[in-house]
Amino acid sequence: MKICFPIIGNEGLKSQVNVHFGSTKDFLIYDSDTKDHEVVSNADAGHAHGMCQPLKALQGRKIDIVIVGGVGMGALQKLNAMSIRVCRAVSGSVNDNIQLFQENKLAEINANDACSGHGDCGHSN
């Protein structure tokens, strides 16, 4: 399974998970089968609100899950349409969130939980 994390800084699995999906500078993609990871630059970081293109941002990579502090409705709908689940990260590192995900302790983000605009989210991350 490929798990995508928008990250703050590139410290590998110690990177902090970003609170926003589309405006992050980098994504860390973790392969839960091989335990390998790669970091890719966000090719779509400069989009206007509501115009995030997830496949462009992820440079066409196959992703199964996105774990993030928050995500806008447009990106959430586009990710879900591509059969990509989106789960709410907790404050902490990629490693912390991998562990919680494996323990089934991260909630899935649905339409009621999506952010309505950059900077006005109510999530705690």
CATH number for position 57 = 3.30.420.130
pTM here is 0.84
User: Is residue 121 assigned to a domain?
Assistant: no
Residue 33 lies in a domain: yes
Within a domain: 98: yes
* Segment 103-121 mean pLDDT: 75
Which has the closest alpha carbon to 63: 47, 85, 93, 39? Answer: 85
Q: Does residue 124 fall inside a structural domain?
A: no
Tell me the pLDDT band of 22, cut-offs 50, 70 and 90: confident
- Domain span holding position 56: 2-113
Q: What local confidence, expressed as pLDDT, does residue 124 receive?
A: 43
pLDDT digits 0-9 by tens, 71-93: 888 888 888 998 999 999 999 99
The answer as to whether 11 is a domain residue is yes
d(CA 95, CA 99): 6
Assess if residue 63 is contained within a domain: yes
For the chain, what is the domain count? 1
Residue 41, domain member (yes or no): yes
Beta strand 85-88 with 65-68: parallel, antiparallel or unpaired? parallel
